[in-house]
Amino acid sequence: MSQVLDADTPKIYEASNDASRVDAPRSLWTSMMHGLKLKCPACGEGKLFRKYLKTNDACPHCNEDMSHHEADDAPPYFTILIVGHIVVPLMLAVEMEYRPSVWVHMAIWPLLTLVLCLAMLPRVKGAVVGVQWAAKMHGFADKDDE
């Protein structure tokens, strides 16, 4: 059984299959912030994704099993909700202040929406995985919790 002591947090990480795993209480806010940074919600060090939206099966740093998360349709839904609350007020403000032609709107807003969605989607998915990890949902529970 190999243990890795993380210098930043007083937590000992072991292979997630081990029944004697030592865990501090899981902070929802901290694990969400780790996910937003595209890092493992457990340790905050390892990369959460191996591709654009494909999560690693296990954290390369702490070996936390990430293969069983179920983010499903939540990340796209939250991304659309957030981007809509950014783009629509901006669009209305530009229209009310400058009254540009329709072609200006058609050139700016679809492109901005696409860029924001593509930039935010992995971060939102990371936050959703972080919430699932902190709440011990979908197989993220400790062995003694099951």
Q: For the segment 120-140, what is each residue's pLDDT rounded down to a tens digit? A: 999 999 999 999 999 999 888
Q: Which helix (H) or strand (E) holds 30?
A: helix 28-36
On whether the CB atoms of residues 131 and 59 are closer than 8 A, the answer is no
Per-residue pLDDT at 54 exceeds 60? yes
Cα separation, 70 vs 119, in Å, equals 21
Per-residue pLDDT at 44 exceeds 90? yes
Output phi, psi for 62, to 5 deg. -110, -5
pLDDT at site 142: 67
pLDDT at site 143: 57
pLDDT at site 139: 81
Domain count of the fold of the chain? 1
On whether the CB atoms of residues 133 and 71 are closer than 8 A, the answer is no
Eight-class DSSP state of 24: P
Q: Is the whole model's pTM more than 0.95, yes or no?
A: no
Mean pLDDT lowest for which of 21-30, 33-42, 71-80, 94-103? 21-30
Residues of the domain holding 73: 4-145
| DSSP-based three-state secondary structure for 78 | helix
Please give the residue that has the higher pLDDT: either 44 or 24.
44
Per-residue pLDDT at 27 exceeds 50? yes
CB atoms within 10 A of CB 28: 13
CB atoms within 10 A of CB 134: 21
Tokens representing residue 15 in the block = 């292979």
Percent of the chain topping pLDDT 90: 75
pLDDT at site 5: 47
Per-residue pLDDT at 3 exceeds 80? no
